[in-house]
């Protein structure tokens, strides 16, 4: 009886060991196709990914070794060619070729292109010196120039800005480069005084007459004439016209009862 129980326990143990032996393949078969050589099953979801140094052959379930050309390294991308060129090299049909730096050039931060040094600009695969004319200086980027204050661009030169009397230089890089003093305005290439009539005040604006009438006066033929409200009327919000008091209404130049 004891031998029979021992044989039965041994049989059960054999079945359990057999199940454990095939369990990984059974579980993997439930998750998808078999994992090929040089690949690892994904830690989440289903499927597999090629191991580092290998890439999936398009249209197949095979991981092939990535052939690194000279001056290249394995990339972290799971798609594409699987490699990138080292700094100072660029890709072409044959792999990685050295980037030829012209004089006065340097590799950019990416390491696969070059840029010209300050004071030079790219011209036909070379770095040509920037010719800065008199009364000019290199701009902030270092690949062009700007005129000094008091000068403006005229072709390849910087010519002096002619400021008229009662005018001053501006910091603007466009327009004439000058503006008129307060109380003057541009007329052709000159600064002419704004003539403010009696009962008016100066308005610092580039449009209009340059002045406005005081409250209680109206502009008439470049002069400020008094506004005279009729009986039962008052100056309106503008101060240059009148309106009737309530409950009167306007009738031409007087206010009449409604």
| Mean of per-residue pLDDT scores for the chain | 86
**Helix or strand (DSSP H, E) at 193:** strand 190-193
Between residues 78 and 22, the one the model is more confident about: 78
CB neighbours of 44 closer than 8 A, spacing ≥ 6?
none
Residues 6+ away with beta carbon under 8 Å from 235: 215, 216, 227, 229, 241, 242
pTM: 0.56
pLDDT on residue 194: 96
Tens digit of each residue's pLDDT (9 = 90 or more) over 85-119: 999 999 988 799 999 999 999 999 989 899 999 99
pLDDT at 59: 79
Which range has the worst mean pLDDT, 25-34, 95-104, 120-129? 25-34
Q: How many CB atoms lie within 10 A of CB 34?
A: 11
What pLDDT was estimated at residue 7? 52
Structure confidence at residue 78 (pLDDT)? 60
Q: Which of the pair, 172 or 66, is modelled with greater confidence? A: 66
How confident is the model over 29-36, as a mean pLDDT? 63
Average pLDDT value for residue range 66-74: 92
What integer is the mean pLDDT of 9-27?
46
The answer on pLDDT for 145 being more than 50 is yes
Question: How do strand 145-147 and strand 151-154 relate by DSSP bridges?
Answer: unpaired
pLDDT number for residue 9: 52
Torsion of CA 191, 195, 200, 205, to 10 degrees: -20
Structure tokens at 51: 């191991």
Percent of the chain with pLDDT over 90: 62
Of 220, 208, 214, 251, nearest to 235 by C-alpha is: 214
What is the rounded average pLDDT of the residues 171-197? 90
Which residues 6+ apart lie within 8 Å of 178 measured at CB? 161, 163, 164, 167, 168, 169, 170
Judge whether 234 and 245 are in contact, CB under 8 Å. Answer: yes
């Amino acid at each position: 009886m004891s031998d029979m129980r021992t044989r039965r326990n041994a049989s059960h143990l054999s079945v359990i060991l057999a199940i454990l032996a095939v369990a990984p393949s059974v579980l993997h078969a439930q998750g998808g196709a078999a994992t090929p050589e040089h690949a690892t099953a994904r830690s989440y979801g289903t499927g597999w990914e090629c191991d580092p140094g290998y890439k999936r052959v398009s249209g197949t379930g095979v991981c092939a070794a990535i052939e690194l050309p000279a001056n290249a390294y394995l990339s972290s991308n799971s798609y594409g060619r699987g490699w990138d060129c080292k700094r100072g090299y660029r890709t072409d049909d044959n792999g990685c070729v050295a980037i030829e730096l012209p004089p006065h050039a340097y590799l950019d931060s990416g390491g696969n292109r070059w840029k010209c040094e300050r004071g030079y600009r790219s011209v036909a695969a070379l770095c040509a010196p920037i010719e800065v004319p008199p009364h000019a200086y290199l701009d902030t980027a270092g690949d062009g120039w700007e005129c000094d204050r008091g000068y403006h661009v005229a072709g390849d030169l910087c010519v002096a800005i002619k400021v008229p009397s009662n005018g001053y230089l501006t910091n603007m890089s466009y327009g004439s480069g000058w503006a008129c003093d307060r109380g003057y305005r541009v007329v052709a290439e000159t600064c002419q005084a704004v003539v403010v009539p009696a009962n008016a005040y100066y308005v610092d604006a580039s449009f209009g007459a340059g002045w406005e009438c005081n409250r209680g006066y109206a502009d008439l033929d470049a002069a400020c004439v008094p506004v005279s409200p009729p009986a039962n009327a008052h100056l309106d919000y503008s101060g240059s016209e009148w309106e009737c008091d309530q409950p009167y209404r306007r009738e031409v130049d007087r206010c009449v009862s409604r």
